[in-house]
Amino acid sequence: MKFHIDISSKVLKSMSYKRNTCSIGNHTYLDGIEQYKPGIKRLQASEAEIKALSVNYAAILKEKEGCLVLHKIGPADGPLGQTLIITCTGREGITRSISISVMIYIIIRAPFSNAYPIFAQQGYENPREATGRIVCANCHLANKPVDIEVPQAVLPDTVFEAVVRIPYDMQVKQVLANGKKGTLNVGAVLILPEGFELAPPDRISPEIKEKIGNLSFQNYRPTKKNILVVGPVPGQKYNEITLFLCPFTFMPKLILAKR
């Protein structure tokens, strides 16, 4: 009994020698709470940045695996974007509606997100879900108003201009891959009726080229020329995006064939 008391006394003395340590055999262990305090403080200081990175990373991985993930971060009501319906009447009295869906999105510029929009293009045959939402919104989370300027009516095989303005707060920042804050990126997905497409290069005048600048456009898929993808591009430089479209380029051939 006395031997047991002596051992206990030694252990107590060892523990009281340093308040946050405990000696067991030849090993000394830090108290669990003290050990993680520096890490906890760092996490608390950058909670928002870490949350944004983790949400974006998880969403992209899920989309890459072919899983549809709906993140309810931010307002729960309404799609992430805006849709504008424009009626265009052709020479033969044919009326079509242009459904232009534009969204502004925040891209967390981590290495795995630089491949945008490959994930969406490979994972979805059509960028518009049955609910009307654009699939890009599964990863890029935002809900901002946009302004779109288009002509009220256009004739077949006529180049016309569509101007998309994204009036967001230029002071808003996003978290970059290095953990620092940077400016937002913006982009757009335009879904047009069959027969509407980007104006061909030989129809682009020098004035139009100057207006477009270095901005590039791509088809969502080679077989879907009526679905265009723009961006991601720096929002401060391209908060106004101008596209030059050409509707019904095949109509004259069809009319001649019928006659």
Annotated binding site for heme: 116, 136, 139-140
**Residue 192's closest CA among 92, 97, 91?**
97
Q: Could you tell me if 127 and 135 are in contact, meaning their C-beta atoms sit under 8 angstroms apart?
A: yes
3-state secondary structure (DSSP) of residue 246: strand
Output the six-digit token pair for 178: 């290095």
Burial 52-74 (b: 16+ CB within 10 A, else e): bbebbeebbebbeeeeeeeeeee
Binding residues: 116, 136, 139-140
For residue 107, count CB atoms less than 10 angstroms from its CB and return exposed for 0-12, middle for 13-18, buried for 19 or more. Answer: buried
**Phi-psi sector, 196: left (phi>0), alpha (psi -120 to 50), beta:** beta
| Other residues' Cβ atoms within 10 Å of the Cβ of residue 228 | 22
